[in-house]
Chains A and B, each alone.
Chain A
Amino acid sequence: MKDILSELNKTSGVLGSAVLAPDGLVIARQASTALASEELWQQALKAFGAFSDISESSGCGQATAVTMEWSHGRLFARAVPGGILLAATRGDVPLGQVQTAVEQAAAELQGDGG
């Protein structure tokens, strides 16, 4: 799992990635010291949960992926078997490029874990 995250982190602009269980337990994490705090990833997971709630209430069903953008950064979250894959990037990274890398990592995690 760490190898898959390391590979994902090689994508231009990706600052770190992690896989968290739905209860917030950090299963794996590969990130710089700036993103070393578990709490940071748990906050991101909480935000994913809040967005998933919106998706369900609007009739779209459970969220499979959420892209959150701030003025200086982005966070990609994707449901994978047994948890959520998260990838933090700089704000100026092309969306498609990272989305493709996250999709690929998610597919590999599915093969790896499932």
Chain B
Amino acid sequence: MNPLAVQPHILAASSRRVPPAFIEKAEKHRRRGELDKALEACEKVINQCPGYVSGHIALARVRLDMGDMPAAQDALNAAITLDPMNPVAQNLLARLDLAGGLNEKATRRLKDILFFYPNDVEAAALLVDASRPTPAQQARPSSEPAAVAPATAQTPAEVAQAELENLRTTPGVTGAVVVDPQGLPVWGSLGRGEQADSITAAKTSAALQVWGDAWAEAGRPSRAIIESSAGRLAIVPCGDSVLIVGLSPRIRPGRVLGIIDQAAEKLKAVSAAQHEGYPFGTE
């Protein structure tokens, strides 16, 4: 079956008018935490128009907020029966797969989404999560809930190294390094030797000054992408530090920018924790 083909029941559903206000109403209730009212609004929409994909997705979100995962899964399965490659439904299902430790299933699902929607940042980010070992693979006792795992608190350096390692295993990423405020490479590598990393770090520090001074009216520097025939470099300030990521010339940057931004956010938190002088992840 061609997943992109418009299914007859979708056409039938779209020919029946569903007032968008119903979904908006459900979402409004959900955001306010009025889950019973949100559920009622969703069920009303679905009863009125069972082929309305967004209605099933809205219902799934409500069920997720209620903590009823099996019911959320049912609603999402209904959505993808109607629209097999709906990226919102597929991403939510991938999240459920990951939550259940079904990383391989999530990976297959996410790769399918990225095949049809290569710029889907959420799917790309989830794929990184899916590549991490499951709790079972880490041989953690199954009775030990993941939420209390930070008994082994990591130092900022360990968290940063782990984050960079994850980044480096992302398809298309050739290297990643964090540069401190003094212009020195502190974590990671761009893969072209220590000397090249040191010079690049110093030059990046100098460029940051020029970048910040130029067009100050446009706000704070948030990201730069340098392109050359040999590849691309993404430069993202994260707190006092800067993250430099090397990218293969064959990869479309849009596909990994979301992942890089997420890593930068985490490194920013690491940097802040380090300044405050306590192990990252503990109070």
Contacts and interface: CB of A to CB of B under 8 A. Distances in A.
Interface of A: 40, 43-44, 46-47, 50-55, 57-73, 75, 88, 91, 95-96
Interface stretch (B151-159, B192-200, B268-276): B192-200
Nearest to A95: B254
A71 B228 contact: no
Contacts of B226: 51-52, 54-55, 60, 63, 65-66
B196 A96 contact: no
B87 interface: no
A53 B207 contact: yes
Contacts of B229: 61, 64
Interface of B: 190, 192, 196, 199-200, 203-204, 206-207, 210-211, 213-215, 217-233, 235, 244, 246, 254
B225 to A, nearest CB: 5
A83 to B, nearest CB: 17
Given A66-B226, A68-B211, A73-B215, 4 more contacts: A52-B226, A55-B226, A66-B224, A67-B225
Query: Which of B190, B213, B214, B217 has the most C-beta atoms of chain A within 10 angstroms of its own C-beta?
Result: B214
A70 B246 contact: no
**Interface of chain B, main secondary structure:** mixed
A69 B21 CA distance: 37
Given A50-B207, A69-B223, A96-B254, A75 B192 contact: no
A57 B219 contact: no
Contact of B215 (A52, A58, A70, A96): A70
Given A47-B207, A53-B207, A66-B226, A73 B231 contact: no
B210 A46 contact: yes
Contact of B227 (A43, A63, A69): A63
A67 B232 CA distance: 11
B238 to A, nearest CB: 14
Contacts of A88: 215
Contacts of B219: 70-73, 91
Contacts of B215: 40, 43-44, 68, 70, 73, 75, 88
A58 B246 contact: yes
A68 B218 CA distance: 11
A67 B200 contact: no
A52 to B, nearest CB: 7
Contacts of B211: 47, 50-51, 68
A57 B197 CA distance: 8
B206 A73 contact: no
B211 to A, nearest CB: 5
Contact of A71 (B192, B222, B225, B231): B222
Given A54-B203, A54-B235, A60 B228 contact: yes
